[in-house]
Amino acid sequence: MPNADTQAMNAHLAEISRTVAKGAHAIIVLDGAGWRGSKALQLPDNIRLLPLPPYAPELNPIENVWACLRANRLAISVFETYDEAVARCCDAWNFFAKDAATVQSITTRQYTRTVNA
């Protein structure tokens, strides 16, 4: 997505909703970005949002992802152009995403496991 806004979040939620098993519900843990709580947000019936408390980055697995990317692929970087910055960030993300063991080790949280009721 080229933008992080309500329209992008609506598309993201719709995509997640399509992958939730029939009869199940997804709980999406998210930070307090304003557009994630917009009145224009279209929340599918099979998704619930669980906002993180403010100032609690240790509860947000993506904070560990950013730290990993900065430490291993983007540290001490100066970009000459916007396109160079985007390309380097995409390269870093793709490198990270291909390493399933690292992704799992830094993003897994006990509270994110599947619960069968």
> How much is the pLDDT for 12?
92
Residue 76 burial (10 A CB sphere; 0-12, 13-18, 19+): exposed
> How much is the pLDDT for 117?
53
Segment 38-42 shows an average pLDDT of 85
For 52, left (φ over 0), alpha (ψ -120 to 50), or beta?
beta
> How much is the pLDDT for 115?
60
Instruction: Say how far apart CA 65 and CA 44 lie, in whole Å.
Output: 27
**Other CB atoms within 10 Å distance of the CB of residue 68:** 19
Q: What is the pLDDT of residues 2-14, one digit of tens each?
A: 788 889 889 999 9
**Percentage of the chain modeled with pLDDT above 90:** 41
For 59, left (φ over 0), alpha (ψ -120 to 50), or beta?
alpha
Q: What is the pLDDT of residues 50-67, one digit of tens each?
A: 888 888 777 777 888 888
2-6, 56-60, 78-82, 85-89: segment of lowest average pLDDT: 56-60
